[in-house]
Structure 1
Amino acid sequence: MSSQALPTYSHAIEAGKDAPQSACITLNMSDRLRLIHFPEHICHMVRKVILDSARNCIRSERNYAGAHEFRLADISWSNSSSKLVTTHLIALIFSALHHQGWDLVISTRVSQKTDDKDTFCFRHGCPAIARASAFFSIVFKKSDEIHLVQAPPEVIAIFRKNTCQITQEQGYSNKSGAYRFKPKGYPWMSSGKETVHSRLWLLSILDTLNHLGFEIYASIAITGPESWIVKGPIKAASPGTP
């Protein structure tokens, strides 16, 4: 092995003045969230987002090899029972970053470790004040459940209109703020022709979301089926609405 040390990532960035400013978030072990190469004020902002989402949910913080690491309490990337909470927290962080000009480039899994989850890579541009957006999540659970977490009413209406595919409508959960539906059959464990039918139904949902100005911002894998982070327009208030 050569004795010459490899350049650090920060040195490489300094060498290229026109290089885009990139950073990432990693989900590690079962309860760690790490911010890598983000400026300090973004770390403070993410801390506020986490604390606003739930009290006492940060067990500890530390500098870990240059990354800002949060160890979370009562949240586990490996526990399906906290999937709604963790997905919503990630959506809140993505929203805050987006409005500070940090947009997601890719979500990927590059670690072979069992407890490590996705890596979310961001690139910094102009703050998105002029294009303020609303974020919510669609969580697929078990083999036959869809949870809409903090979704606007018009999105819930989309699912209601697809009554031919819905067998139960559970309504809101006070704990997570999620609206739960149960589609026909077991679409996330389907076989035979049902594998096609379940995908056609999802495509119809995507088409309708797109018509309303919403798009899938990220697909994230925490535990079980992947969840979708959705971005769309903030609906203007009607005249006379406070």
Structure 2
Amino acid sequence: MPAENTTSSSAFAILSIHKNDSLRFLQFPDDIHANIQPVILATWPLGIQSSGPYAESYQYKLKGKPFGWANEQEVVGGFRVMRNVLAFLHEQSWQLVTPLVCSRKRGAKDTLIFRRRPLDAGPPVPMDWLAVALMGSDKLRVVYDAKDVKLSGGADSDHDHLGVLISGLKKALEAMDCFQKGDWSYDSFEFKLKGRPWLSQGEDVVKSRLLLLRIVETLDSSGWQSCCSVLQRTGNDDFRMADTWYFMRPKTQAGGGNETASLPRPGAA
């Protein structure tokens, strides 16, 4: 049944992920519903299949399967969609309170609860955003597209030197004897890890948790703070998907980008 009203004056609102392709906004004001559309379209090249009221919420149904068991290109695109939606809501003074799985249905994904910043709190600090995805049983993908990032590399560059962000993670993985190889694809960087840390058993479970600590420590040393982890993909009957981890850090004063992170061009490694 169509909703009579999809907006609210409440300080709290919800963004939820449904099926393989849908985002629903509950109790957000109407300007959020309208202004989020170009954010999605700029991030998701397949476009939007439909949008409009869904019960008391407002729903965007995307083409393809950004939140499903899809091809890898769509999976990476889904990370970008969620990352940019989170960034947009932050810019509009909506702070994430917590992600929550509130359904026991097979394939249920996270519900994200937000709170609006008080008007007297001032504007939010501009942030850059990064996604870290645990994929398959042995992959770690970093998705980072901040504007004005200084690029390094070239014909004579050392392909193993991947800039502050990637090389720092590579060193951490090597120190734990977890690094197997890494390369660019879909405008993001993917590490292939030794063993199967995301399907580990016995004492190896402890090592996989230590690996998570080294990842967050490495990112923290470059100024990235953990924003949230989101269960946004559908698994199958045998395996559930791991969360996608989102980080943010204040933009530098000059240039509006990450002056401290010098990333190589895609294809440079």
1:186 aligned partner: 196
Q: Does 1:143 align with 2:129?
A: no
The DSSP-based 3-state class of the residue aligned with 2:213 is helix
| 1:83 and 2:88 are equivalent in the alignment | no
Question: Helix, strand or coil for the counterpart of 2:182?
Answer: strand
What do residues 163-186 of structure 1 show as CA deviations (whole Å, max 9, x unaligned)? 23343333211x3x2200012211
User: TM-score scaled by structure 2?
Assistant: 0.74
1:95-174 matches, within 5 Å, as 95-125=87-117, 126=119, 129=123, 131-150=125-144, 153-162=163-172, 163-164=174-175, 165-173=177-185
Shift of 1:56: 4.4
Alpha-carbon spacing, 1:202–1:97, altered in 2? closer, same or farther (3 Å): same
5 Å matches for 1:55-94? 55-81=45-71, 82-94=74-86
Gaps of 5+ in 2: 147-162, 235-240, 260-269
1:218 Cα deviation from its structure 2 partner = 1.0
* 1:213 partner amino acid: G
Q: Higher helix proportion, which one?
A: 1
**Structure 2: how far apart are the matches of 1:204 and 1:118?**
25
Q: Counterpart in 2 of 1:4?
A: none
1:47 and 2:37 aligned: yes
In structure 2, distance between residues paired with 1:37 and 1:178: 34
Instruction: For 2:184, give the aligned amino acid.
Output: Y
- Measured in 2, the distance between the counterparts of 1:206 and 1:190 equals 19
Structure-2 change in CA distance of 1:80 and 1:144 (3 Å): farther
Q: Is the 8 A contact 1:30 1:115 kept in 2?
A: no
CA RMSD of aligned residues (A): 2.7
The answer to whether residue 23 in structure 2 is matched with residue 33 in structure 1 is yes
Distance change >3 Å, CA 84–CA 186, structure 1 → 2:
same
Query: Aligned in 2, Cα 1:209/1:63: closer, same or farther, shift over 3 Å?
Result: same
Paired AA for residue 49 in structure 2: R
Contact 1:137/1:151 (<8 A) preserved: no
Residue aligned with 1:148, SS = strand
How many angstroms apart in 1 are the aligned matches of 2:225 and 2:180? 26
Change (3 A) 1:128 1:42: farther
Higher relative contact order (CA 8 A, sep 6+): 2
Query: TM-score scaled to structure 1, two decimals?
Result: 0.82
Asked whether the equivalents of residues 50 and 62 of structure 2 are also in contact (C-alpha less than 8 Å), the reply is yes
Once the two structures are superposed, residues 115-140 of structure 1 have per-residue CA deviations (whole angstroms, 9 ceiling, x without a partner) of 43111110010587451111110011
Deviation at 1:105, TM superposition (A): 0.4
- The sequence identity of aligned pairs, in percent, is 26
